[in-house]
Amino acid sequence: MARSNDLNDKDLGELTEELRASKHEALNLRFRNATGQLENTSEIRRVRRRIARINTLIRQREIAAAEAES
């Protein structure tokens, strides 16, 4: 698992790819939980928070780019 510091070093394309992968992981975890195959349910929470961190970083960069244009 990458730390948020690692996320800060990534460019926008890498962040969107990381977001896609994390959403896919969350989907798999939800399916495994629904079928009773998931032992550690805290993984779902960890992935949801990671998705939120990535979305926050993407939004911060969008805002910074918009302010730079002004």
Predicted local distance difference test score (pLDDT) of residue 4? 62
Distance from first CA to last CA of the chain, Å, rounded?
37
Q: Which is more confident, 15 or 70?
A: 15
What range does the domain containing 49 cover? 4-69
**Prediction pTM value:** 0.88
Q: Number of folded domains in the chain?
A: 1
pLDDT tens-digit series, residues 24-60: 999 999 999 999 999 999 999 999 999 999 999 999 9
CATH number at residue 23: 1.10.287.310
Q: Please give the single-letter amino acid code of residue 27.
A: L
Give the residue-averaged pLDDT of 1-26: 88
